[in-house]
Amino acid sequence: MNIIFGDAVKEIPDSFTVLELDTFRTLDNHNTTTVYCVVEKIPTQELAALDAYKKIHADVIKYYKQREFHYCETAVNALMGRWSGELDTFYTDLLDRVKQYKENGVSEDWEATLIK
C-alpha cells in the first residue's frame, strides 16, 4: 500500500484503487490535508465485489467522522482481510480508537482523526 497526501491523489490513474484514510489539520490550523492509500494487490476473486468494498470503506470514513461508531465496527469487521490484508493494520487501529471513544466518550470539539 502506498500513501498519498492531498492533491497528489489527482495524479493517480483511475485504474488504481484509491481509498481515503484521514484528513489532518496543518500545524497552522488553517488548512487540511486528506490522506489516501493506493491499494496495490486486489485478489482476482474480490474484483466482482470491488465497488461494494470501496463503498463500505468510504462509508466507514464518513460514519466515523459522524461518530456513528457501531456502523464502523460492523463494517470494519466485514472489510478485514479484504484488499489482500493491506489495510488490516489501519482497520485494527480504527477499531481500537472506536473502542476508546465508546468507553470514554469524545469531547464536543472533537475533530475526527483516524491516525495519531
Query: Is residue 69 pLDDT above 90, yes or no?
Result: yes
Three cell numbers, residue 8? 497528489
DSSP 48: G
C-alpha 89/C-alpha 14 separation (Å) is: 25
Query: In this predicted model, what pLDDT tens digit does every residue of 20-57 receive, in sequence order?
Result: 998 877 777 677 889 999 998 888 888 899 999 999 99
Please state the pTM of the whole predicted model.
0.84
Q: Find out whether 2 and 38 touch, Cβ atoms under 8 Å.
A: yes
Q: Is 49 exposed, middle or buried (0-12, 13-18, 19+ CB in 10 A)?
A: exposed
Q: What is the mean pLDDT of residues 65-84?
A: 93
Q: Find out whether 28 and 60 touch, Cβ atoms under 8 Å.
A: no
Q: pLDDT category, 111, cuts 50, 70, 90?
A: low
Per-residue confidence (pLDDT) for residue 53, from 0 to 100: 95
Q: Where are the beta strands (DSSP E) in the chain?
A: 2-5, 17-25, 32-39
